[in-house]
Structure 1
Amino acid sequence: MNTGKSVARRAYLIPIACLLVVSCSLDYGEALAEELGEDVPDSILYGFQHTVVENGKPRFRLEADLAENFQVTGRTRLTGVRFSEFNAGGGLVAEGTADSAVFFPDTETAELTGSVSFRRESDGLAVNSGYLKWDGEARLLTSRSDTLTTLRDGDGSRLSGAGFQADAARRSFSFDKGADGSFRGGGE
């Protein structure tokens, strides 16, 4: 038994092992993100909720059964979507649902797909579509030119058409591909 050589070898290997461990990095963030690509989420959340708060009151709430976050592209893919808009006092202005959505938190832009519907509380206006895009910066709500969108008002009015566009700032809407239905204008 030559224990002197064995102890010397161990004493020699310990500093080398320490150097190897110290030189290794456990931060694989960028490398892993590049390796995973744009279609693999960085995180998956169940029971997702995103609330925009102004002056201590909620202004907009976005909820989903499932949220997949993609940091590289700055988007969140949502499934089983519910959304609500509130006035400055915290009262409900509008609410809706969608089968799925892609949400861009930096611009508050969302693309809603599947069975999309929402209802405005003040006048009962309901919107149903297969696709709607909300541009948070321009405050525009648009559908695709080949997607049927239907508007129903609390007074019995109904309009359907493709190429829907609503401008929230101007409080106006249009259908680029024509519309069908009836509109009952208010008046005295």
Structure 2
Amino acid sequence: MADKYDNMSMEERAEFDKQAKQKEEEEQATLPYKWNQDLTSVSVTVPLPAGTRAKNLNVEIKKTKLKVQVKGSDKPILEGTLFSDIKEEDSTWSIDDGILSIELEKLSGRTTMGAWWPHVLTHHPKIDTTKITPSNSKLSDLDGETRGMVEKMMFDNQQKQMGKPTSDERKKIETLEKFKASHPEMDFSNAKVN
């Protein structure tokens, strides 16, 4: 799919992106909730039946699962496995004006820190996380590890857009150049950097 997209003209890409965004919006509109995210948390808002109060709800926020059900109802409003683990003890919920608000704190770790979620619950339609435009936040607001990762991602995206090597590719090229310099007797004419 990526190769096909890469071979499209700018106009074809724009049309493809427009259609994909429209399909994504239609799929997201069918969900029983709305959601958004930043690098550290996911916010979910769920419209509740008229007159529903906190005491009428069963809300379960677990490390890997989420369930919202009106007590006495046969079917949950939403229930399923979360895309990624969360900090259960730091996640909260509240009700205001008939809307249930759930704040899920993403679990910090090497594989999840700063990762965009393609969906909240794994059985729901995905969004294209490559098209996410983060809200204007200051890099200085992030902890050192997250800031470094975000800066690297931003640099690599810029390099790709300009058709230049990413930071990892640049390291490989530099290593090859150093090896060439220390071994001038070798033929590197067919050397490739992958």
Q: Same fold (TM over 0.5)?
A: no
Q: Please tell me whether Structure 1 or Structure 2 has the larger radius of gyration of its CA atoms.
A: 1
- TM interval, shorter chain, is under 0.3
Higher strand share: 1
TM-score, length-scaled by structure 1:
0.27
TM-score, length-scaled by structure 2:
0.26
Higher helix share: 2
Select the structure with the greater relative contact order (CA < 8 A; seq sep ≥ 6).
2
